[in-house]
Structure 1
Amino acid sequence: MRDMPDAVMLFAAGFGTRMGELTRTRPKPLLPVAGRSLLDHALDLVEAAGPSRQVVNTHYLADQIATHLAGRPGLDISHEAPEILETGGGLRKALPLLGDGPVFTLNTDAIWTGANPFDTLRAAWQPERMDGLLLLVRPESAHGHAGKGDFLQGEDGRIRRGPGAIYTGAQILRTDMLHEIPETAFSLNLLWDRMLARGRLHGVLHSGAWCDVGRPESIATAEALLAEAADA
């Protein structure tokens, strides 16, 4: 079994309800930001990092995403029906397409500046010490996000839940423990809890800015970040 991640799961199945009317007839991953869809921005990061297996999960308005991705070599779709499986169940369903060993996962509703998140994760991954590695961002570098933060980080890189750094939606995970969870649809928080109990969930900080594009007003914020990065 490989120890370094060479497959990526892109989460694109959600309903995007916080986007209101914008997602009534269009899935959130296809909403445009700076002239390109959120999904295409995410795929740009994937292609630059070069994992050999790429999987996108779908559920809500899945036919639109399938049409958008038609003709892309090396990309598979894991469709969830009749029910949506959430992040944990969706990842487990896609494992036959992702293969054995640790995988990258990426939420498709964010915009990044700075280093490619996959490169940062790959450089920090230590399989002998970690079952999971979450990419975090300091609150001052997070945009479009409300809250007190998600994790506190120790000097050894281990994390625990608490107000501090914010989870960005990018990570590396070992997937074998997914089969121990009895629920069909479940959040990856359940997997994180098992890793936290073993002291094997770690974090690494993103060096640039990050925008959670979860609400209509976040689109303009994300576009401003991209414009600022282009002018730098």
Structure 2
Amino acid sequence: MRPVPDALMLFAAGLGTRMGALTATRPKPLIEVAGRTLVNHALDLADEAGIGRIVANLHYLPEQIRAHLSDRPNITFSDETDAILETGGGLRKALPLLGTGPVFTLNTDAVWTGSNGLSTLRSHWDPDAASALLLLVPRADATGHIGAGDFDIDRSGRIKRGRDYVYTGAQIINPGGIGAVPDPVFSLNVLWDRMLAEGRLFGCVHRGGWCDVGRPDAIPLAEALLAGAVDV
């Protein structure tokens, strides 16, 4: 089993219903922000962090994503066209492609500035203490996010459900035990709750900007965030 992850699960199967007309004829990962698709913004992080093995799950309009990424031989696809499996079920189905041991997971509906979030996770990863390490941003700095935060974090880095920090959609997780979940379709929250009970759910804080691009009105917010970073 690898102690440090070298594979990435890229969640690209969502329906993107909150995007309205923008996803009527294309999947959400192919929506452009500042002239670049969301999936390419995510892949920029992976490339910069030196992650070579990438698996993307597909459900809605999958052939568009396959075609868009056809020039990326390091990406394989986990087919969920028959039924979307959510994050937990999707990760479980993709494990034969990802290999054994801990893996990165990354959502494709955000843009980032500042330090590379995947590299930050790698530098903080302690497999002896943690079963998952989530990358968080302070609620006040979570551009585009609606509602309260998701977690609180203590001085040791251990987290619990709370309001002060928002989950960015990036993490390292050891999927051991995922096979014991009885439901075929389930969220990674099922695993996180188990880890919380065991005291093995940790977090670290992203040093930079982050924008949740889950709705059309978040696109100009994301573009302003990126423009501001370039102008500095």
Matched with 1:138 is 138
- RMSD (CA atoms): 0.7
2:32 pairs with 1:45: no
- Matched to 1:15, the amino acid is L
Q: TM-score, normalised to structure 1's length?
A: 0.99
SS at match of 1:40: helix
**Inter-partner Cα distance in structure 2 for 1:76 and 1:82:** 18
Matched with 2:129 is 129
Aligned pairs for 1:14-29 within 5 A: 14-29=14-29
Deviations 1:120-147 (A, max 9, x none): 1001001110000000000121100011
SS at match of 1:97: helix
Matched with 1:82 is 82
Mean alpha-carbon deviation: is it higher for 2-11 or for 69-78?
69-78
Q: Structure 1, unaligned stretches of length 5 or more?
A: none
Matched with 1:224 is 224
**Residues 8 and 105, structure 2, Cα contact 8 Å, conserved in 1:** yes
Structure 1 residue 52 displacement after superposition: 2.7
Structure 1 residue 97 displacement after superposition: 0.6
**Inter-partner Cα distance in structure 1 for 2:92 and 2:4:** 19
Number of aligned positions between the proteins: 232
Structure 1 residue 78 displacement after superposition: 0.7
Structure 1 residue 71 displacement after superposition: 2.5
SS at match of 2:160: strand
- Matched to 2:214, the amino acid is G
Mean alpha-carbon deviation: is it higher for 128-137 or for 138-147?
138-147
**Inter-partner Cα distance in structure 2 for 1:188 and 1:119:** 22
- Matched to 1:7, the amino acid is A
- Matched to 1:119, the amino acid is S
**Inter-partner Cα distance in structure 1 for 2:71 and 2:77:** 12
Deviations 1:167-211 (A, max 9, x none): 000000001121110100100000101111110000000011100
- Matched to 2:56, the amino acid is V
SS at match of 1:216: coil
**Inter-partner Cα distance in structure 2 for 1:74 and 1:24:** 29
Paired-residue identity, %: 61
Matched with 2:180 is 180
Structure 1 residue 50 displacement after superposition: 1.2
SS at match of 2:217: helix
**Inter-partner Cα distance in structure 2 for 1:154 and 1:117:** 20
**Residues 139 and 163, structure 2, Cα contact 8 Å, conserved in 1:** no
Aligned pairs for 1:182-221 within 5 A: 182-221=182-221
Structure 1 residue 90 displacement after superposition: 0.3
Matched with 2:63 is 63
Matched with 2:98 is 98
**Inter-partner Cα distance in structure 2 for 1:98 and 1:148:** 33
**Inter-partner Cα distance in structure 1 for 2:197 and 2:123:** 24
Deviations 1:55-98 (A, max 9, x none): 11110011100110112121101110311000000000000110
**Inter-partner Cα distance in structure 2 for 1:74 and 1:108:** 17
- Matched to 1:146, the amino acid is I
Matched with 1:157 is 157
Matched with 2:9 is 9
Q: TM-score, normalised to structure 2's length?
A: 0.99
**Inter-partner Cα distance in structure 1 for 2:148 and 2:22:** 27
**Inter-partner Cα distance in structure 1 for 2:153 and 2:72:** 38
**Residues 112 and 211, structure 2, Cα contact 8 Å, conserved in 1:** yes
